Amino acid sequence: MPNKIHAAITGVHGWVPEDRLTNFDLEKMVDTNDEWITSRTGIRERRILKTPGWATSDMCTEAVKGLLEKTGTKPGEIDMLIVGTITGDMVFPDTANTVCDKIGAKNAFGYDINAACSGFLYALATGAQFVQTETYSKVVVVGADMMSSIIDYTDRNTCVIFGDGAAAVLLEPRKDGTGITDFVLRGDGSGREFLHMKAGGSLHPPSAETVAAREHYAWQDGKRVFVHAVRGMTSTVESLLRRNKMTIEDVNWIVPHQANMRIITSVAEHLEFPMERVTINISKYGNTTAATLPLCLWEYEDRFKKGDNIILTAFGGGFTWGSIYLVWAY
Of residues 6, 13, 257, 281, which has the active-site annotation?
Answer: 257
Q: Which residue is nearest to ligand UT7 (CB)?
A: 222
DSSP assigned state of 287: B
* Active-site residue, 228 included: no
Gap between the Cα atoms of 207 and 275, Å rounded: 47
Of residues 60, 100, 117, 296, which has the active-site annotation?
Answer: 117
* Active-site residue, 252 included: no
Residues 251-270 that bind ligand UT7 (CB under 6 A): 259-260, 263
**Nearer to ligand UT7 (CB atom), residue 12 or residue 117:** 117
* Active-site residue, 60 included: no
Residues 200-229 that bind ligand UT7 (CB under 6 A): 220, 222-223, 225-226, 229
Question: Read out DSSP for 40-109?
Answer: HH---EEE----TT--HHHHHHHHHHHHHHHHT--GGG--EEEEE-SS-SSSSS-HHHHHHHHHT-TT-E
Q: Measured from the CB of residue 248, what is the shortest distance to ligand UT7 in angstroms?
A: 23
Q: Measured from the CB of residue 43, what is the shortest distance to ligand UT7 in angstroms?
A: 9
**Nearer to ligand UT7 (CB atom), residue 28 or residue 223:** 223
Residues 13-52 that bind ligand UT7 (CB under 6 A): 32, 36-37, 40-41
Question: Read out DSSP for 142-210?
Answer: EEEEEGGGG--TT-HHHHTTB-EEEEEEEEEEE-SS-EEEEEEEEE-GGGGGTEEE-SSSSSS---HHH
Half-sphere exposure of 37 (CA within 13 A, CB side): 28
Which positions lie near ligand UT7, rule CB under 6 A? 32, 36-37, 40-41, 117, 156-157, 160, 195, 220, 222-223, 225-226, 229, 259-260, 263, 287, 315-316
